[in-house]
Amino acid sequence: MMTEIWQKTATEIAALVRAKTLSAVEVTQAHLDRIDSVNGAINAIVQTFPDEALAQAQAVDQRIARGEDAGVLCGVPVTTKVNVDQKGHATTNGLKLQKDLIAPADNPVVANLRAAGAVIVGRTNTPAFSLRWFTRNDLHGQTLNPRDAGLTPGGSSGGASAAVASGMCAVGHGTDIAGSIRYPAYACGLHGLRPTFGRVPAYNASAPDRHIGAQLMAVSGPITRSIDDIEASLLAMAAPDFCDPWWVPAPYDQGAFPKRAALVVAPDGMPVAPQVEAALRDAAARLTAAGWSVEEVPCPSLRPAALINEQLWMADMRSVNAVVEAEGEADSQFVFAQMKARVPETDVDTLMGALQGRLPLIREWQAFLRNYPVVICPVSGELPFAQQLDVEAPETFTRIMEAQLTQRALPVLGLPALAVATGAQGNTPVGAQLVAGRFREDILIAAGRDIEAAGTEISVS
């Protein structure tokens, strides 16, 4: 059976466009047609601009015709999330209050994607304030999971994951402050990389700079259907931009490493579903078969880091309490209320203590990762959640927060983490999370390739 253009991976597309077997215009039109065909039922992409996309594609073809290097993602259809600036388009962040907030310039990650030859075919949905692991808001509506409409597509990059999983783009740009890349990838049966803090530059000219919590924890990264695409997308996104003072000129390839991994099924004793444990042990077995030494050991504690994440996040969110009220979106108001109940008012001493408390945690994890260059752990303690489960009741919200322990903790540590799809239980995706030392995305991708080589059942149809 012939593979349609929109079913191809990003690296396949780039190779075909570079070889002039396909034109970037052909590829773009195929994906625009796919958006027209399926987006109405999924609501992943909430802003489209076909003429602009086709003009970008034509410019890529012209570069190739002139014999120029068209970039690592030449002709690859990508989407950007509506919480980052794309010049001439609204940076809504899922808010009615920001529906007319038109970006004056590209966020560096958007500019880097363009420079790498990618063609932006649409803007993807996020929950209001990018606040949840579910994707719904009063401005753009709800996004459905293409694998199973009854499951969340994840959040906050749920639109990105749904777009990739349904073939509307080959690469989805996501952001992650508490799992917003890794969890949507997991929920939609994809791969998703949260890069090291400082790896990918970021800056939104449309709004004031964010407070210290978001500065230290929020990153941009890719969601894709192949590990090769994760690597290519990371290389594109991580190009220099000195608008971001936190950006670090760290090389991607940092040399040889021992193929040794730690399997941590239930960090800090978190509840883990049997299907999740089975997926973790499957990932460990795949690495063992590929020549890795895998040892089941406990990892340093994650709960203190998860608490710091909540303290920093709520210090930020309390500063915009009036905006949450003015937006009047019921789901985010419920989640905000639950978070306020979990975290007392963050005074100066609490904030300074949280910032100070990060350092010994990072130190402990860095020492652990010197012995075990890769940690295999849950993306979530549960299979992907049912739609809107977090706003059903305070009890379900608490259950979800516990299941998402690794999602909340790792951003505080500044470590890179990769969600790797390994298969499915019926229509429900399963997978594992890999963690490595700072700026060792090369190790994550090497391990991810070995897991992927044993089969992941990632497909679009």
Active-site entry in 8, 23, 130, 156: 156
The reply to whether 180 belongs to the active site is yes
Q: Find the Cα–Cα–Cα–Cα dihedral 264, 265, 269, 271, rounded to 10°.
A: 150
What does pLDDT average to over the chain? 97
The reply to whether 259 belongs to the active site is no
**C-alpha distance from residue 456 to each of 185, 222, 378, 428 (Å):** 13, 18, 16, 13
Structure confidence by residue, pLDDT tens digits, 111-129: 999 999 999 999 999 999 9
Tokens in use for 336? Answer: 């905000």
**C-alpha distance from residue 22 to each of 14, 96, 108, 169, 208 (Å):** 9, 40, 28, 16, 42
| pLDDT at residue 308 is higher than 90 | yes
Report residue 186's pLDDT band, with 50, 70 and 90 as the boundaries. very high
pTM of the predicted structure, to 2 decimals: 0.98
CATH number of 5-452: 3.90.1300.10
H-helix or E-strand spanning residue 358: helix 348-371
Q: Which of 280, 290, 307 is nearest to 381 (CA)?
A: 280
CA distance 202 to 221: 11
Range name among 6-20, 221-235, 314-328, 428-442 with the lowest pLDDT average: 314-328
What is the gyration radius of the CA atoms in the chain, in angstroms?
20
Tokens in use for 266? Answer: 């239930």
| pLDDT at residue 239 is higher than 90 | yes
CA distance 50 to 291: 47
What would the mean pLDDT of 226-234 be, rounded to a whole number? 98
Q: Residue 337, CB half-sphere, CA atoms under 13 Å: how many?
A: 12
CA distance 20 to 13: 10
| pLDDT at residue 201 is higher than 80 | yes
- At residue 319, the pLDDT reads 79
Within 8 A by CB and 6+ apart from 399, the residues are none
Cβ proximity of 141 and 42 under 8 Å: no
Active-site entry in 23, 81, 130, 166: 81
Helix (H, G, I), strand (E, B) or coil at 81: strand
Active-site entry in 130, 161, 166, 180: 180
- At residue 461, the pLDDT reads 64
- At residue 1, the pLDDT reads 59
| pLDDT at residue 357 is higher than 90 | yes
Q: Which of 78, 5, 45 is nearest to 229 (CA)?
A: 78
CA distance 406 to 14: 34
- At residue 347, the pLDDT reads 87
Report residue 266's pLDDT band, with 50, 70 and 90 as the boundaries. very high
Q: Find the Cα–Cα–Cα–Cα dihedral 151, 137, 213, 209, rounded to 10°.
A: 140
Helix (H, G, I), strand (E, B) or coil at 120: strand
Report residue 92's pLDDT band, with 50, 70 and 90 as the boundaries. very high
What would the mean pLDDT of 56-75 be, rounded to a whole number? 98
Structure confidence by residue, pLDDT tens digits, 71-89: 999 999 999 999 999 999 9
| pLDDT at residue 138 is higher than 90 | yes
